[in-house]
Structure 1
Amino acid sequence: MENLARNLQEQKHFEQPVQTNKQTLKVRKSWLTPGEKILGVAFAGIVCFGAIHIISNQAKIYEVNKDIQKVEDKIKAQQQVNSDLQAQVKGLSNYQRIYEKAKKMGLQLNENNIKVVQEK
Protein backbone atom coordinates (compact mmCIF):
# COMPACT_ATOMS: atom_id res chain seq x y z
CA MET A 1 0.00 0.00 0.00
CA GLU A 2 2.80 2.25 0.88
CA ASN A 3 4.14 1.95 -2.59
CA LEU A 4 0.85 3.00 -4.15
CA ALA A 5 0.70 6.19 -2.13
CA ARG A 6 4.28 7.02 -3.03
CA ASN A 7 3.58 6.42 -6.73
CA LEU A 8 0.63 8.80 -6.63
CA GLN A 9 2.74 11.49 -4.99
CA GLU A 10 5.46 11.12 -7.57
CA GLN A 11 3.00 11.30 -10.39
CA LYS A 12 1.65 14.52 -9.00
CA HIS A 13 5.11 16.06 -8.91
CA PHE A 14 5.91 15.04 -12.44
CA GLU A 15 2.66 16.22 -13.89
CA GLN A 16 2.95 19.86 -14.55
CA PRO A 17 -0.08 21.91 -15.29
CA VAL A 18 -0.63 22.26 -18.98
CA GLN A 19 -0.88 25.87 -20.03
CA THR A 20 -3.15 26.60 -22.91
CA ASN A 21 -3.32 29.76 -24.88
CA LYS A 22 -7.00 30.28 -24.28
CA GLN A 23 -8.02 33.84 -23.87
CA THR A 24 -10.10 34.54 -20.87
CA LEU A 25 -13.35 36.25 -21.66
CA LYS A 26 -14.37 38.97 -19.33
CA VAL A 27 -18.01 38.67 -18.49
CA ARG A 28 -19.56 42.06 -18.09
CA LYS A 29 -22.24 42.28 -15.53
CA SER A 30 -24.97 44.79 -16.27
CA TRP A 31 -25.98 46.96 -13.38
CA LEU A 32 -29.64 46.36 -14.33
CA THR A 33 -31.30 43.04 -14.75
CA PRO A 34 -33.52 42.42 -17.78
CA GLY A 35 -36.61 42.63 -15.58
CA GLU A 36 -35.52 46.01 -14.22
CA LYS A 37 -34.89 47.23 -17.76
CA ILE A 38 -38.40 46.20 -18.81
CA LEU A 39 -39.88 47.93 -15.78
CA GLY A 40 -37.84 51.05 -16.50
CA VAL A 41 -38.98 51.18 -20.12
CA ALA A 42 -42.60 50.58 -19.06
CA PHE A 43 -42.38 53.34 -16.46
CA ALA A 44 -40.85 55.76 -18.96
CA GLY A 45 -43.61 54.91 -21.43
CA ILE A 46 -46.31 55.53 -18.85
CA VAL A 47 -44.75 58.87 -17.88
CA CYS A 48 -44.56 59.94 -21.54
CA PHE A 49 -48.16 58.86 -22.15
CA GLY A 50 -49.31 60.75 -19.06
CA ALA A 51 -47.45 63.90 -20.10
CA ILE A 52 -48.93 63.80 -23.59
CA HIS A 53 -52.40 63.18 -22.15
CA ILE A 54 -52.09 66.15 -19.77
CA ILE A 55 -50.85 68.45 -22.54
CA SER A 56 -53.66 67.44 -24.90
CA ASN A 57 -56.24 68.03 -22.13
CA GLN A 58 -54.80 71.47 -21.46
CA ALA A 59 -55.02 72.28 -25.18
CA LYS A 60 -58.68 71.21 -25.22
CA ILE A 61 -59.40 73.32 -22.13
CA TYR A 62 -57.73 76.31 -23.80
CA GLU A 63 -59.89 75.88 -26.92
CA VAL A 64 -63.08 75.62 -24.85
CA ASN A 65 -62.15 78.73 -22.85
CA LYS A 66 -61.47 80.59 -26.09
CA ASP A 67 -64.90 79.58 -27.42
CA ILE A 68 -66.52 80.69 -24.15
CA GLN A 69 -64.85 84.09 -24.44
CA LYS A 70 -66.12 84.47 -28.02
CA VAL A 71 -69.68 83.62 -26.95
CA GLU A 72 -69.47 86.04 -24.01
CA ASP A 73 -68.30 88.80 -26.37
CA LYS A 74 -71.24 88.07 -28.70
CA ILE A 75 -73.61 88.19 -25.73
CA LYS A 76 -72.24 91.56 -24.61
CA ALA A 77 -72.56 92.94 -28.14
CA GLN A 78 -76.15 91.70 -28.41
CA GLN A 79 -77.00 93.17 -24.99
CA GLN A 80 -75.65 96.52 -26.16
CA VAL A 81 -77.78 96.34 -29.31
CA ASN A 82 -80.83 95.40 -27.22
CA SER A 83 -80.32 98.29 -24.81
CA ASP A 84 -79.91 100.70 -27.74
CA LEU A 85 -83.14 99.40 -29.27
CA GLN A 86 -84.98 99.75 -25.94
CA ALA A 87 -83.81 103.35 -25.72
CA GLN A 88 -85.13 103.95 -29.24
CA VAL A 89 -88.48 102.37 -28.33
CA LYS A 90 -88.78 104.65 -25.29
CA GLY A 91 -87.91 107.66 -27.40
CA LEU A 92 -90.30 106.75 -30.20
CA SER A 93 -93.17 105.89 -27.87
CA ASN A 94 -93.17 109.37 -26.35
CA TYR A 95 -96.71 110.75 -26.11
CA GLN A 96 -95.82 114.05 -27.83
CA ARG A 97 -94.34 112.28 -30.83
CA ILE A 98 -97.33 109.96 -31.21
CA TYR A 99 -99.68 112.94 -30.99
CA GLU A 100 -97.77 114.82 -33.71
CA LYS A 101 -97.77 111.76 -36.01
CA ALA A 102 -101.50 111.35 -35.45
CA LYS A 103 -102.12 115.01 -36.36
CA LYS A 104 -100.08 114.65 -39.57
CA MET A 105 -102.20 111.67 -40.56
CA GLY A 106 -105.39 113.63 -40.01
CA LEU A 107 -106.52 112.21 -36.72
CA GLN A 108 -108.11 114.49 -34.17
CA LEU A 109 -108.10 114.23 -30.41
CA ASN A 110 -111.56 113.48 -29.07
CA GLU A 111 -111.51 113.89 -25.31
CA ASN A 112 -114.74 111.93 -24.90
CA ASN A 113 -113.08 108.85 -26.44
CA ILE A 114 -109.92 108.73 -24.32
CA LYS A 115 -109.22 105.59 -22.32
CA VAL A 116 -106.41 105.27 -19.81
CA VAL A 117 -104.50 102.02 -19.83
CA GLN A 118 -102.44 101.19 -16.76
CA GLU A 119 -99.41 98.96 -16.86
CA LYS A 120 -99.24 96.10 -14.40
Structure 2
Amino acid sequence: MALLDQKEHHIYIQQPVASEGLVPKPAKKPFKSIITKTEKVLMIAMVAAIAVIAVMNLNIQSSINSTSVEIQKTEMSIDEVKKQNSELSMEVSELSTYDRIWKKAKALGLKLNENNVKVVSGQ
Protein backbone atom coordinates (compact mmCIF):
# COMPACT_ATOMS: atom_id res chain seq x y z
CA MET A 1 0.00 0.00 0.00
CA ALA A 2 2.81 2.30 0.67
CA LEU A 3 3.98 1.95 -2.92
CA LEU A 4 0.59 2.75 -4.32
CA ASP A 5 0.29 5.89 -2.24
CA GLN A 6 3.59 7.20 -3.57
CA LYS A 7 2.53 6.72 -7.17
CA GLU A 8 -0.65 8.68 -6.68
CA HIS A 9 1.21 11.72 -5.45
CA HIS A 10 3.38 12.26 -8.55
CA ILE A 11 2.86 15.59 -10.21
CA TYR A 12 3.26 15.69 -13.92
CA ILE A 13 4.51 18.91 -15.52
CA GLN A 14 3.70 19.31 -19.14
CA GLN A 15 6.62 20.54 -21.19
CA PRO A 16 5.99 22.98 -24.01
CA VAL A 17 5.81 21.24 -27.31
CA ALA A 18 8.28 22.52 -29.87
CA SER A 19 6.62 23.27 -33.16
CA GLU A 20 8.21 21.73 -36.11
CA GLY A 21 9.33 23.94 -38.99
CA LEU A 22 9.59 27.19 -36.98
CA VAL A 23 12.86 29.06 -37.20
CA PRO A 24 13.94 30.85 -34.04
CA LYS A 25 13.83 34.65 -34.37
CA PRO A 26 17.17 36.39 -34.55
CA ALA A 27 18.02 38.85 -31.78
CA LYS A 28 16.70 42.36 -32.46
CA LYS A 29 19.22 44.99 -33.36
CA PRO A 30 19.05 48.22 -31.32
CA PHE A 31 16.73 50.85 -32.85
CA LYS A 32 18.66 53.21 -35.06
CA SER A 33 17.43 56.80 -34.80
CA ILE A 34 16.68 58.59 -38.04
CA ILE A 35 17.63 61.95 -36.49
CA THR A 36 21.25 62.34 -35.47
CA LYS A 37 22.43 63.96 -32.23
CA THR A 38 23.68 67.01 -34.12
CA GLU A 39 20.30 67.50 -35.73
CA LYS A 40 18.61 67.20 -32.32
CA VAL A 41 20.95 69.84 -30.87
CA LEU A 42 20.29 72.13 -33.82
CA MET A 43 16.53 71.69 -33.45
CA ILE A 44 16.67 72.48 -29.73
CA ALA A 45 18.80 75.55 -30.44
CA MET A 46 16.34 76.69 -33.12
CA VAL A 47 13.35 76.25 -30.79
CA ALA A 48 15.20 78.15 -28.05
CA ALA A 49 16.05 80.96 -30.49
CA ILE A 50 12.42 81.20 -31.63
CA ALA A 51 11.28 81.35 -27.99
CA VAL A 52 13.79 84.11 -27.20
CA ILE A 53 12.70 86.09 -30.27
CA ALA A 54 9.04 85.71 -29.27
CA VAL A 55 9.73 86.98 -25.74
CA MET A 56 11.74 89.91 -27.12
CA ASN A 57 8.90 90.72 -29.52
CA LEU A 58 6.40 90.78 -26.64
CA ASN A 59 8.72 93.01 -24.62
CA ILE A 60 9.08 95.45 -27.52
CA GLN A 61 5.31 95.50 -28.13
CA SER A 62 4.74 96.23 -24.44
CA SER A 63 7.19 99.13 -24.46
CA ILE A 64 5.61 100.50 -27.67
CA ASN A 65 2.16 100.36 -26.07
CA SER A 66 3.33 102.12 -22.91
CA THR A 67 5.08 104.79 -24.99
CA SER A 68 1.96 105.39 -27.08
CA VAL A 69 -0.09 105.78 -23.88
CA GLU A 70 2.41 108.37 -22.62
CA ILE A 71 2.24 110.19 -25.98
CA GLN A 72 -1.56 110.29 -25.81
CA LYS A 73 -1.44 111.68 -22.25
CA THR A 74 1.06 114.34 -23.34
CA GLU A 75 -1.07 115.29 -26.35
CA MET A 76 -4.11 115.62 -24.10
CA SER A 77 -2.21 117.91 -21.72
CA ILE A 78 -0.96 119.97 -24.69
CA ASP A 79 -4.53 120.35 -25.95
CA GLU A 80 -5.64 121.46 -22.49
CA VAL A 81 -2.87 124.06 -22.30
CA LYS A 82 -3.75 125.32 -25.79
CA LYS A 83 -7.36 125.67 -24.73
CA GLN A 84 -6.35 127.62 -21.61
CA ASN A 85 -4.04 129.84 -23.69
CA SER A 86 -6.79 130.64 -26.18
CA GLU A 87 -9.20 131.45 -23.33
CA LEU A 88 -6.60 133.69 -21.68
CA SER A 89 -5.79 135.48 -24.96
CA MET A 90 -9.52 136.15 -25.45
CA GLU A 91 -9.68 137.54 -21.91
CA VAL A 92 -6.64 139.73 -22.59
CA SER A 93 -8.21 141.08 -25.79
CA GLU A 94 -11.47 141.81 -23.91
CA LEU A 95 -9.65 143.54 -21.05
CA SER A 96 -7.41 145.62 -23.31
CA THR A 97 -10.15 147.35 -25.32
CA TYR A 98 -9.89 151.13 -25.54
CA ASP A 99 -13.30 151.73 -23.94
CA ARG A 100 -12.51 149.59 -20.90
CA ILE A 101 -9.14 151.27 -20.39
CA TRP A 102 -10.77 154.70 -20.70
CA LYS A 103 -13.43 153.79 -18.12
CA LYS A 104 -10.77 152.57 -15.68
CA ALA A 105 -8.72 155.72 -16.21
CA LYS A 106 -11.78 157.93 -15.51
CA ALA A 107 -12.60 155.87 -12.41
CA LEU A 108 -9.08 156.47 -11.12
CA GLY A 109 -9.39 160.25 -11.80
CA LEU A 110 -7.23 160.53 -14.89
CA LYS A 111 -8.08 163.17 -17.50
CA LEU A 112 -7.25 163.27 -21.19
CA ASN A 113 -4.85 166.10 -21.97
CA GLU A 114 -4.50 166.53 -25.73
CA ASN A 115 -1.30 168.54 -25.36
CA ASN A 116 0.34 165.57 -23.66
CA VAL A 117 -0.57 163.01 -26.39
CA LYS A 118 2.16 161.83 -28.70
CA VAL A 119 1.48 160.04 -31.96
CA VAL A 120 3.63 156.99 -32.62
CA SER A 121 3.81 155.75 -36.17
CA GLY A 122 3.13 152.05 -36.57
CA GLN A 123 5.68 149.97 -38.37
- TM class by shorter chain equals 0.7 to 0.9
Give the drift of 1:112: 1.3
Structure 1 45/70 Cα, relative in aligned 2: closer, same or farther at 3 Å? same
Q: Mind listing any 5+ residue stretches in structure 2 that lack a counterpart? A: 1-25
Q: Which runs of 4+ in 1 moved over 2 A?
A: 23-26, 115-120
Residue equivalent to 1:74? 77
Distance 1:24 1:92, change over 3 A: same
The CA RMSD measured in Å over matched residues stands at: 1.6
Which residue matches 1:60?
63
Shift of 1:32: 1.2
Equivalent residue letter for 2:54: A
Query: Alpha-carbon deviation of 1:68?
Result: 0.9
- SS of the residue 1:27 aligns to: coil
% identical aligned pairs: 39
Q: How many residues matched?
A: 98
Over 3 Å counting, the alpha-carbon distance change for 1:57 and 1:88 in structure 2 is: same
Gaps of 5+ in 1: 1-22
* 1:97 alignment partner in structure 2: 100
TM-score, scaled relative to structure 2? 0.73
Whole-Å Cα distance in 1 between the matches of residues 106 and 120 of structure 2? 21
2:33 — aligned with what?
30
